[in-house]
Amino acid sequence: MPPIVGISQCLDDRGRWRQGRDYVYVDLAYARAVDDAGGSPVHLPVQRTPEDLVSRIDALVIPGGDDFPPEDSSGYPEGVFDPTPEVQIDFDSRLLAAALARRIPVLGICYGMQLVCLRHGGRLHHHLPSDLPDAQLHALPEDSGRHPIQVSPGSRLAAILGDPASPVNSLHHQAVEEAGTGLRVSARSPDGVIEAVESEGPDFLLGVQWHPEKLDGDGRLALFRALVSAC
């Protein structure tokens, strides 16, 4: 049987999809990429015992999502943050902790990468235009917006993507400022913004700031194939 890859789902508890209802959702592109990479994708909705879910999967994907708002948002433009529900952050954090405890492969994408770094004691740039005004624009058009990345030689990411790596998409306004203990930075954009992190140890724990599931060609499946292979 192909490895079972769990994909966390996003939670809408503010009536954005339908007033008066809580909805879970996730871009189907993640499941399609896992399927095309040889894995068996399973969506994981928010529930009370994420640890039980992790005992039934072979790898975990924490996908893109909403924002981690700062404790004090007074210095930022009004309405710039779309906060992730606390219940979802708690669920995803417990999923991640259980996956790390079991030492199964983990891939964090955008919000997922940021959660991985926060779990390891890292810090975020909450809004790049405010925190790093000299940085290039990172919220680019989904279909055409691309920028190069500089991948660290000898990293797991370099072995997966090759050298040089193809340009990546960029759909974020938050980013990792410090990776955290036990993680190393494995890619940056030309302006120095962190684009990928990975475990300093042997376990497959990789986070990327871009969205590989939305890319074309080899850039779309390389990370997912590596995740499935690591199972």
Q: Which of 108, 93, 121, 123 is nearest to 198 (CA)?
A: 108
- Indicate if 10 belongs to the active site: no
Pairing label, strands 59-62, 123-125: unpaired
The residues that bridge with 5 in the sheet, in sequence order, are 41, 59
Q: Which of 115, 56, 95, 58 is nearest to 230 (CA)?
A: 58
- Indicate if 211 belongs to the active site: yes
- Looking at 110, 125, 126, 138, which residue is catalytic? 110
Q: Which of 86, 91, 89, 109 is nearest to 52 (CA)?
A: 91
Q: CB within 8 A of 95, min separation 6: which ones?
A: 6, 8, 44, 50, 53, 54, 60, 62
Structure tokens at 81: 């943050």
Place of tokens 């959660």: 115
Structure tokens at 109: 């994408």
What is the distance between the alpha carbons of residues 231 and 229, in angstroms, rounded to a whole number? 5
- Looking at 117, 125, 172, 213, which residue is catalytic? 213
* DSSP assignment letter at 212: G
- Looking at 147, 200, 211, 231, which residue is catalytic? 211
Catalytic positions, written as ranges: 110, 211, 213
